Each structure stands twice: as structure tokens, then as C-alpha cells.
Amino acid sequence: MAAILSLVGAIIVLVTLLDVFLTVLYPASGRGPIRKPLSSCVWHGFRLIGGMTAGQRRRNLLSYSGPVLITVTLFVWLVLLVAGWAMIFKPALGSGVQASSGHTDTGWATAFYFSGFNLTTLGVGDVSPRTGLYRLLTITEAALGFAFFSMVITYFLSVYSNLTSRNAFAQGLHHLTGNTDDAAELLARIADGSEISAARQHLSAKAGFLREIHQTHRFYPVLRYFHYREPYYALPRILLTALDTATLMRSALERDRYAREIEAPAMGELFEAAMSLMRELIPAAQPHQPSADEVSLWRERYTDALARLARAGLQVRADSEAGADDYVALRREWDSPVRELAAIMLYEWGSIEPQRIGAPRSRRK
């Protein structure tokens, strides 16, 4: 029985350390025997409660999802390591592990106490190993505990550092659109009168940031669980703004006048970087055939964009119907995956897509 208990404890320790390794040192593997199901359970809990609320109350609730997941993960790792080592040391209490003076209590409380101060390297010393084997195990647990806390602290600092970078990019994009997150407004603002050559530099920089976000979310999957009360920090909003910008440039601008800008590598970079990020976040998403109402709204969106770009001095396509057809065809490639991502992350679509100027609120879906 003692051997079985120690074996189970060793398995718990090894599985936990494997999970820490896959999460901290090899997160791109996408695996984690503890982290993945734990993340799923915590997120499903937030989704269940969040589904009962709406609007600002839902956003307030979901803003706790990322921090809670990190706290729960750290707590579970710590409890499992302490429990696993306690199961290893429990059969040795009173023999291989004894109190420094007096009677040695052989209960679970002492086993957890001994395991806990070894793992946290407190070294209080009122219970100590008496044989070579358990002295070696004690040193091993202390060394693993030191490495565990060092790696975990470094990992979570990296998570928040990358989260800050993502939020800074989202806020910058929000401000560049005049706090509207409207792609047409972005294009109008980065244009210099009738010229749009400066857009290439802007769009290339935005594509670079999107690639960075892609890689950080690949290496730190926990980032996707971070929500904020302000919708412009939302990943679906970032993707919508980037993809709509690329789509409008390809469909709304006069092709002969802006051929170099439309066909520039920066344009392809922006679109592909945004699509790659979306595929990382929601790999199974597939485009769907839009409804007649959706197509009508897209055409209205395109008409508004043409008017805004023309007011900025840009030369737009004379054949607006053909341009609208191109816009609808291009948007069909990415609209439904962005909507699906928003739904999975429990964002209301009305808070993701900028509202048309003068449009009634009932049309926001």
C-alpha cells in the first residue's frame, strides 16, 4: 500500500511538471494535460454566467476571466505538487522522515506540512529526513520548487508584458480611427489629401504588430481569455478593423489612380497577417454564404465608406455597384469567422462592428 501511494504521488508530480514544462517552456505545442482542460472548465464557467447577462455587465464579468484563469492555474499546480510530494513522503513518516524532537505525527497534515515547506524552500527544520534516500528526495523537491516558482513568475510576467503590447496596439488603432474603429476613417486619416502613398508605411507597421500578436497568442494561449470593459481592446474588433481596411483599399479606391498602393506588398501583408491571427484563434472557422440582409448592410457600409473617402480627397471608384460587388466578395472571406470568434469569446456583435452614422440601433446585430 505504501509503495502504491508513493507511486501515485510520483505520477502526480511528473504530470504536473510536464504540464508546467509544456505551458512555460514549450507552449507552442498546444498541449497540457492539466492546463487545457482547466482552461476549458474555467472559461465555460465564465461563458455560462456571462450568457445570463449582456452589455456592460457582461464585459465587466468577462474582464476577470484572464486573471482568474492564471490564479486558478497557479493554485492547481501548487496544490498538485504539494499533494504529490506529500504522498511520496507519507509512508516514511516516523522512519525515514522524523520530527527533530519528540513523537513524529504520521498523519496527512504532517505529510502536507513537510512537503509544503520543502517545495517553498522555507526549511523550518522541525521535521527532517533521516535516511539518504529521503534526504535526496527532500533536496530534489526543494530544487524543483525553486525552479517551479522561478519559471512561473517569469512566464506570467511575459504574459502581462505581451498583453500590454497587444492593448497598446489596440488603443493606437482605436485612436488612429478617431475613436470610431471605422476602417474608412482610418484610411481617410492616413491619406494626404488625394495621395495615399503614406498608407503603405502605416499598413506595413500594422501588419508587423498583427504578426507579433499572432506569435504571442500562439506561445501564450491564455492571452485569448483576457477581456476588457472597453470593446476596442477586443480581438474581433482588431481583426475587423484590419481586414475591413484591406478590403476597402482593394474595392473602394480608383484602381488606375492607386494601383501601386493597392498592389503593394504592405496591403497583402496586412490582410494575410490578420487572417493568420484569425486562423490561430479559430482554426476550424469556415466562410459561409451571407444572407440577403447581411449583403444589404455590407453594401450600405460600402456606400458610407465611399462617401467618407471622397470627403478626404481620395479618388474612389466611379462604378460604385461594381465596387460594392467586390467589397461583398472580399468580405465574404472573413466576415463569418470574425463573427464566430466574437460569439465564442462572448462579445455581442453590436459592440464589435462600428455603427453606421445615422443608422438606427435596431439594425445593429
pLDDT tens digits for 28-62?
777 889 998 999 999 999 999 998 998 889 999 99
Confidence of residue 285 (pLDDT cuts 50, 70, 90): confident
Residue 113's pLDDT is 93
pLDDT tens digit string along 98-128?
998 888 899 999 999 999 999 998 776 788 8
Confidence of residue 356 (pLDDT cuts 50, 70, 90): low
Residue 363's pLDDT is 42
Confidence of residue 362 (pLDDT cuts 50, 70, 90): very low
> Is the separation of the CB atoms in 142 and 149 below 8 Å?
no
CA-nearest of 221, 120, 124, 233 to 169 is 233
Answer yes or no: is pLDDT of 255 > 60. yes
> Is the separation of the CB atoms in 98 and 127 below 8 Å?
yes
Residue 1's pLDDT is 78
Phi, psi dihedral angles at 99 (to 5 degrees): -70, 150
Looking at every residue in the chain, the average pLDDT score rounds to: 89
pLDDT tens digit string along 202-250?
888 999 999 999 999 988 889 999 999 899 999 999 999 999 999 999 9
CA-nearest of 102, 109, 96, 130 to 2 is 96
**C-alpha grid cell for residue 157?**
510576467
pLDDT top residue among 240 and 2:
240
- Cα dist from 243 to 100, 203, 205, 283, 330, whole Å: 68, 11, 15, 17, 10
Residue 194's pLDDT is 67
Residue 9's pLDDT is 96
CB-CB neighbours of 45 under 10 Å: 14
- Cα dist from 248 to 207, 236, 295, 308, whole Å: 16, 18, 15, 12
Residue 259's pLDDT is 87
Task: Report, as an integer, the average pLDDT of 140-147.
Answer: 94
pLDDT top residue among 140 and 25:
140
- 3-state DSSP call for residue 176? helix
Name 76's Cβ contacts closer than 8 Å, sequence gap at least 6: 34, 38
pLDDT exceeding 70 applies to what percent of the chain? 96
CB-CB neighbours of 275 under 10 Å: 19
Answer yes or no: is pLDDT of 147 > 80. yes
pLDDT top residue among 265 and 254:
254
Name 96's Cβ contacts closer than 8 Å, sequence gap at least 6: 129, 130, 131, 133, 134
CA-nearest of 365, 334, 175 to 247 is 334
Answer yes or no: is pLDDT of 360 > 50. no
pLDDT top residue among 309 and 1:
309
pLDDT top residue among 308 and 355:
308
- Helix (H) or strand (E) holding 289, with range, is none
Residue 4's pLDDT is 94
The DSSP bridge pattern shows strands 127-129 and 97-99 to be: antiparallel
pLDDT top residue among 100 and 164:
164
